[in-house]
Each structure stands twice: as structure tokens, then as C-alpha cells.
Amino acid sequence: MARGPAGAADGAAPAARAAGPRRDLGTFLSLVKIEHSLFALPYAYVGMLLAADGWPGWRAFLLVTLAMVGARTAAMAANRVIDARLDALNPRTAGREIPSGRLTRWDGVVVALLGAAALVVAGAALNRLTLALLPVALAFLIAYPYTKRFTWACHLWLGVTIGAAAAGGYIAVTGQFHLVAVLLWAAVAAWVAGFDVIYAFLDVPFDRAHGVHSVPADLGEGRAVGVVAVLYAVAALALLGVGLSTRLGATWPHEPLGVAFLVAWAVVVGFLLQQVRALRRYRDARALDAFNVNLVLGPLVLLGTVLGLAWR
């Protein structure tokens, strides 16, 4: 059963199973929740801009975009295929494309393979390091649905996997790692893991009944609120480190970003605090009113980065 941003727009199960597959573009885009690319793609652009210390050129931009969209498409489609049986059992997710019959499992497999192919093509065209890391990236992307079968740390796995998009944007330009890329990766990883824990609150009874692991289901909802708060604090501190990075020799070649980035950071922190406060009050779908703001945090950090580079 997929959680996190992939399921944020899921509705109740339909009254009856679809008459047959509906292989139109809208159904395929819905399968991979293409609009939720806003969760990770802006951070790949942030990494790209930091690596180039500005605009890296259209070639890098288009290849990074292709790689990130391909990676996310492959991961989402594989997630839907692997979790189809669990999704069919859960009233909240039974209306998804494969359980409802609008698409078949093989449709999902084809979409996953196409996404993986786009990632491989883009990664191979960028540099040797991105090409060498492709097997690792694909393994992490495909493994996430299985981690929920074994451990409540599945949220951390998802965070590290999606957070790699930020480091990937950096590597795509430089062909190497720097500490600022690691900080950006840590910020995104902790943020994604935190909001995935929040989303898991919606499925606590189902998860416990069907052996699906999550922080709220395994550790209790009270402890899960504390876990979210800690993860969001790590995300805020790591992101602040990105903005305050300065020249420290060859291992850290970046000057501090301008005040615009720090303003964006402060707004992001405010939204994260709002989510934690809402979660302390509500342990159900009402918490999603605060959760859904995560869609704008990536673009906000990207805007702060662009302006910070321009006005520092």
C-alpha cells in the first residue's frame, strides 16, 4: 500500500469495479500522480543550481528533468504494481487504477520500465558518476514498497531515496559530491520521512490488521508525533546549513546564499511547525489540511535559492 504524497488525492473505493482497462493518458498520469513531482523535482533543481553556482545550461536542466521524472515514474508505477493487493483491501486505496481495474498490473510494469529507461538514458548522458550510481538508485526506488512489510523505518528509506534527487541534481553538474549536496540530501530525506509518517496516521488500523509497518502503527501515535517533530527539526537545520554554507577550501566551494534564501527557509520552518501543531491536535484526515502544504515547500526553496544566488 503506497503512502506519502502518492496517496494524498486518493478517494473512497468505487461502488463497483471498472468494466475494463481505460488506457488513456489521464489514467496513466493518475497512476503515477504526475502532479506530485513537485515534492522532489524542485530540490533536484536546487542541487543543480548550487553545483553550477547559477544557471547550468539547458542541456543539464533538461537531462536532470528527464532523470528525475523518469525515476519518480518508475518508482510510483512499481509501487502501484507491488502494492496492488494491499491497495485493493484498503477502502481508502481500493479506487486506485490497478485495484479498480482501470489499468492492469502489466500496464504498471510497462510504465515502470519506461520510467527506468528515461532515467538510464539521462544518467548515461550526464557523467560517469551518475551512470555508476544508476543501479543503486533503481534498487532503492523499487525496494521501498517491500520495506513496509518488514520495518517501521520504511519512512526513512523513502526519505533517503527521494532525498537523493537533490544530491543527484548536484552530481549531474559536477560529477562529484560536496558537503553542501549531502546537507541538501539530509534536509530532503528528513522532510520526506516526516510527512510520510504523518500520512501513515490515516492507515493505522488497516496497517496493524494486515501486518504493514509504520511508525504510528508500530510505535504508537503519541511517539509518532515526536518522531515527526525530530525529523522536521533535522530537515530545518540541514536546510539552514545549505543556506549558510561558506568557503572552506576545496571541500566546500560555495559562498553563503543571500537573504532571500533565509526568508524562504523561515517560511518553510513555519509551515513545518504548523504541521506538527496540527498533528498534536488531530490524528485523522484533518491533519492533512496542514500536510498538503508540503506541495509548495519545494518550489518555495527553489525560489529562495534562485533569488539567493542572484542577490547575495
Q: Per residue in 98-123, pLDDT tens?
A: 999 999 999 999 999 999 999 999 99
Secondary structure of residue 85 in the 3-state scheme: helix
Residues 148, 1 contacting (CB under 8 angstroms): yes
Gap between the Cα atoms of 111 and 25, Å rounded: 12
For residue 129, give the amino acid letter.
L
Gap between the Cα atoms of 190 and 155, Å rounded: 9
Residues 21, 107 contacting (CB under 8 angstroms): yes
Number of helices (H) and strands (E), helices first, in the chain? Answer: 15, 0
Q: Point out the least confidently predicted range of 29-43, 50-64, 107-121.
A: 29-43
Q: What is the pLDDT of residues 262-285, one digit of tens each?
A: 999 999 999 999 889 888 887 665
Tell me which residue has cell 493487493.
Answer: 85
Gap between the Cα atoms of 217 and 208, Å rounded: 6
Q: Point out the least confidently predicted range of 61-65, 138-142, 204-208.
A: 138-142
pLDDT of 20 over the 90 cut: no
Residues 142, 162 contacting (CB under 8 angstroms): no
Gap between the Cα atoms of 56 and 68, Å rounded: 16
Tell me which residue has cell 494486515.
Answer: 210
Give the residue, 242 or 177, on which the prediction is more confident: 242
Gap between the Cα atoms of 198 and 279, Å rounded: 8
Residues 191, 297 contacting (CB under 8 angstroms): yes
Secondary structure of residue 255 in the 3-state scheme: coil
pLDDT of 55 over the 80 cut: yes
Show the DSSP H helices in 148-258 as ranges.
Answer: 154-174, 179-200, 204-210, 215-219, 221-244
pLDDT of 175 over the 90 cut: no
pLDDT of residue 286: 62
Tell me which residue has cell 560555495.
Answer: 254
**Distance between alpha carbon 89 and the CA centroid of its chain, in Å?**
25
Is the domain 34-311 a CATH 1.10.357.140 member? yes
Residues 8, 288 contacting (CB under 8 angstroms): yes
| DSSP tag of 248 | B
Secondary structure of residue 243 in the 3-state scheme: helix
- State the first-to-last Cα distance of the chain, in angstroms, to the nearest integer: 45
pLDDT of 3 over the 60 cut: no
Q: What is the pLDDT of residues 234-261, one digit of tens each?
A: 999 999 998 887 444 334 455 678 889 9
pLDDT of residue 5: 47
